[in-house]
């Protein structure tokens, strides 16, 4: 794992907490690297909005409830549009990719192993595959760039961390509705389904944002 992936995963899992200052020298020693790759990794994370400048150095970004509402408002506009465009422009190859992504998502959700960090990572990954396949099917080359700027991975990860089995299955059912709308070339139905899907994720994050008990459990889980 390179410096970028190491630091990003530590932020996602909460090992590097919001507000924590990121010292290049400390990280370089921990990873047994020079400060140059650490500096480059931090620049990339800053461009992604996960790291912000401090008076001295940089730190892990904090997200307020207003931040989360604004992020999800943008996501629903962009991804709902992507879903509607996918319903118009999708090819048979796109449908195969979307169907396969949904199959993997269902397998990850139906897995009988405990909902630990490894399983959550898998669920997040296959969910991302489905959403990226929709963007690809939209045939709009600019959408991926803009969506990537507002899909904040730590927030998405925590959303899935807080999902229970019913909510995971509910998410899968919405995936299936979105897929059927795209398959049947129903852009408005695809747009509405995606809109509600993303807002369900937003509501789940906002519901737990101030729950210190859940935050404590997350920290304990990743130790």
Return the pLDDT at 142: 93
- What's this model's pTM, rounded to 2 decimal places? 0.78
pLDDT (tens digit, 9 = 90+) per residue, 74-83?
999 999 999 9
Q: With 0-12 CB in 10 A as exposed, 13-18 as middle and 19+ as buried, what is 36?
A: exposed
Return the pLDDT at 132: 95
pLDDT (tens digit, 9 = 90+) per residue, 180-197?
999 999 999 999 999 999
pLDDT of 149 strictly over 60: yes
Average pLDDT, the chain: 86
Report the share of the chain in percent with pLDDT over 90. 48
pLDDT of 162 strictly over 90: no
What strand order describes the sheet that includes 58-60?
Answer: 21-22, 58-60, 51-53
């Amino acid at each position: 794992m390179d410096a970028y992936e190491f630091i990003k995963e530590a932020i996602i899992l909460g090992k590097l907490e919001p507000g924590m200052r990121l010292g290049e020298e400390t990280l370089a020693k921990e990873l047994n690297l020079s400060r140059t790759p650490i500096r480059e990794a931090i620049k990339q994370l800053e461009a992604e909005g996960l790291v912000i400048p401090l008076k001295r150095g940089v730190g892990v970004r904090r997200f307020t409830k207003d931040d989360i509402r604004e992020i999800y408002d943008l996501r629903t506009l962009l991804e709902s549009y992507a879903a509607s465009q996918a319903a118009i422009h999708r090819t048979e190859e796109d449908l195969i990719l979307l169907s396969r992504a949904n199959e993997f998502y269902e397998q990850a959700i139906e897995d009988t192993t405990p909902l630990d960090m490894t399983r959550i990572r898998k669920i997040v990954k296959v969910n991302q595959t489905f959403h990226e396949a929709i963007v690809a099917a939209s045939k709009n080359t600019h959408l991926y760039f803009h969506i990537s700027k507002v899909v904040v991975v730590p927030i998405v990860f925590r959303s899935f961390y807080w999902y229970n089995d019913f909510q995971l299955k509910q998410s899968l059912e919405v995936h299936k509705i979105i897929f059927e709308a795209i398959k049947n070339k129903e852009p408005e139905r695809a747009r509405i389904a995606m809109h509600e899907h993303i807002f369900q994720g937003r509501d789940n994050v906002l519901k737990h944002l101030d729950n210190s008990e859940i935050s404590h459990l997350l920290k304990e889980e990743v130790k």
